[in-house]
Structure 1
């Protein structure tokens, strides 16, 4: 895996903001109109639109327009690169901790002699 994956960086950037995460949580329940997403945030519509733009650029949501109504829907499979990266990191760190544990146990055995 490359040290710097721009797609993964875009995903983490999108997920780094609490407002964007709350929008994704809401969209996990089903598609919603932009005005419905903006209401609970307390933010002005242009600010919410910028958040939605970041989520859409990361591929986490898809939007559609019907007349003057813009609807957003979550794209769950877009999270797969994050899951894969997190699983890889978990494997790496578990192996490191296992080696550290083995080392500590060896040191303790040596001191016990």
Structure 2
């Protein structure tokens, strides 16, 4: 959808719903990566149903570190704001979504790389 290629991408770009759909999909990928991290590192945390609690725990002693936790929190908050329609805000641009997609890809790689909690 970010490239506007293919049947779905072309329709999304011409219809105008693609920015929020992309933001929602990128946010879901981030949330899935956080869940996968906790399933590997501490399954009891993964069982928690509160996504925000899982994010907050990334900065703790079992998480990958404060730096990664802050980047995750910023990306998640930005994507959440972009995914919700507000009549007084413009939808995110393709460039903004590409940057967020790249940031989430880097964060997911970082979370995949960390199998043991940082001490």
Q: TM-score range with shorter-chain normalisation?
A: 0.3 to 0.5
TM-score (norm 2): 0.34
TM-score (norm 1): 0.35
Q: Which protein is richer in strand relative to its size?
A: 1
- By relative contact order (CA 8 Å, sep 6+), the higher-ranking structure is 2
